[in-house]
Every structure is written in structure tokens, then in C-alpha cells.
Amino acid sequence: MRRKLAAGNWKMNGLPSDLSEVSELQTAAQGDAEVLICPPATLLTSASAQAGKIALGGQDCHGESSGAHTGDISADMLKSAGATYVILGHSERRADHGETDARIADKTRAAWTAGLTAIVCVGETLDDRESGATLDIVGTQLAGSLPDGASAQNTVLAYEPVWAIGTGKVPTTAQIGEVHDFIRQSLITRFGNDTGSMIRILYGGSVKASNAKEIFAVKDVDGALVGGASLKAADFAPIVAALNAA
């Protein structure tokens, strides 16, 4: 059985006063589904004091463990601040910082070395989808961003169509199902049935309380990576509840 995961990505949002949202999620986090919040790195240490059953994660890490990399953060630093997860290869990082699949693979290896679970993100643009290239793009990103050595413990995949992030546009359940099935089969082919069938696959992109139930009913959707609707406990708790009920 794959444990369901509701992951909140706060992106570049959150000041110390927002940590009350983490405390308010405690009740929602008592169910079977794992609840994860990825706040900005500045809040990790103080969030860990009130996280309780909620896991914490970073939103990026460098591919090296230390050195002359101004402004970057290492996987060990995230770990020492209370993180057990790190989001890698988010489309906003790919777009804003030119992150390539090879660089994301380096970051993933660094995360594993530090003992973090990497949430590796893949997803097509609207142009990719309209030209029928979705599975090609997702397959290429998956092959290039995910190093050998992935396991159900050290890796979670997140399928996030770029055109669905922060837009309110959500793929049909058939479209989500097609990509999740493709990712599942790719993982099994590459890592074998035992590992490939146990790595969790999240859907991300405009997940809200109002659409969570139908998304969580799709085969091979093991949870969600949620941006905007994770910032307030009042919005995120019903999504966690829908995942627990799925």
C-alpha cells in the first residue's frame, strides 16, 4: 500500500505570523494520509517546533553539499532545519532559474545523500499538450531528472502540468489518469515492479477542495502537491480530508 500524501508548497509566501496555519492543520493531520508543508526555508526551524505530525520540506536544494554558491541552500541545511522532504524541479524553478533535467538529477542525488525524500516534478506546457507531445516531454523529464537508485522511501513523483499551475485550469480526470499511468509504467520498467509500483505519484495544479475528490479517485493518484490552496489551513484541511476519504 502506498501511503497517501497531501503536500503543500507555499512557494515564496509566508512570514512568521503565518505559522499559525501549520498549527491549525494538526487536526487534519491525524488521519492516515501524510501531511507535508514546504514553507520558505526561513520558516523551517520555527515551523518544526509546532509541526507535530506534519512533515516539513524545502522547495529546492543545491546539487552540492556546501561551497561557494551564494544564495543557495544545501540538502543538509534543510535537513538540519527540520525538513524530511524537498521539492525538486518544480516548473517555476525550471522556468525562473533555467534548471535542466541533469541539474535536477544532481539535486536529487544531493537530497538522497542528506537523507531527504525528493519530490521530483515533471509536467508539460500548454504548447506541449496542444502539439500532442505530453507523454514525450514527461518521459524525457522523468528519465533525465530521476537518477538511478530511486526507491519508494527516497522519491515521490509529482505530475504538474505547467498550464494548470495557479491558473484554475485543471486537466480532465482522463488526462490526469493517462499521465499517471504512463509515469507508473515508466517507473516499473526502469526500477522493477517492487520499486516502481510503490513510488508515490502526486498530481499538482489548481487542486482545491472543490475538485480534490474527483482527482483523488483517479487511479495512481497518490495525493496532491498543492500551491495556493495550501496557504490557509481552512483551504488545505478539506483537501486532506478528501484524500483521507479517497
Catalytic amino acids? 90, 160
Subset of 165-184 contacting ligand PGA (CB under 6 A): 165-166
Output the smallest distance, CB 169 to ligand PGA, in A: 9
User: CB of residue 193 vs ligand PGA: minimum separation in angstroms?
Assistant: 29
Residue 204, interface with ligand PGA (CB under 6 A)? yes
Among 179, 226, 241, 242, binds ligand PGA (CB under 6 A): 226
Q: Does the CA dihedral 147-223-228-31 come out positive or negative?
A: negative
Cell of 124: 508539460
Q: Which of 80, 90, 32, 92 is nearest to 56 (CA)?
A: 80
d(CA 67, CA 208): 40
Q: Is the dihedral of CA 45, 227, 178, 140 positive or negative?
A: negative
Residue 225 Cβ vs ligand PGA, minimum distance, rounded to whole Å: 4
Q: Is 192 in the site for ligand PGA (CB under 6 A)?
A: no
Closer Cβ to ligand PGA, 168 or 192, answer by number:
168
Nearest-angstrom CA–CA distance, 182 and 188:
10
126, three cell numbers: 500548454
Q: Which is nearer to ligand PGA, 9 or 141 (CB)?
A: 9
Nearer to ligand PGA, 142 or 196 (CB): 142
63 makes contact with ligand PGA (CB under 6 A) = no
Q: Which of 34, 160, 220, 222 binds ligand PGA (CB under 6 A)?
A: 160
DSSP code at position 116 = P
Name the minimum Å distance from CB 170 to ligand PGA. Answer: 9
| Smallest distance, ligand PGA to C-beta of residue 53, A | 22
The string over 32-67, giving b where at least 16 C-beta atoms fall within 10 Å of a residue's C-beta and e elsewhere, is: ebbbbbbbbbebbeebbeebeebbbbbbbbbbeeee
Q: Which of 207, 212, 218, 233 binds ligand PGA (CB under 6 A)?
A: 207
Sorted by sequence, the CB contacts under 8 Å of residue 14 that are 6+ apart come out as 39, 40, 42, 43, 231
In the complex with ligand PGA, which residue's Cβ is closer, 152 or 225?
225
The binding site for ligand PGA (CB under 6 A) comprises 9, 160, 165-166, 204-207, 225-229
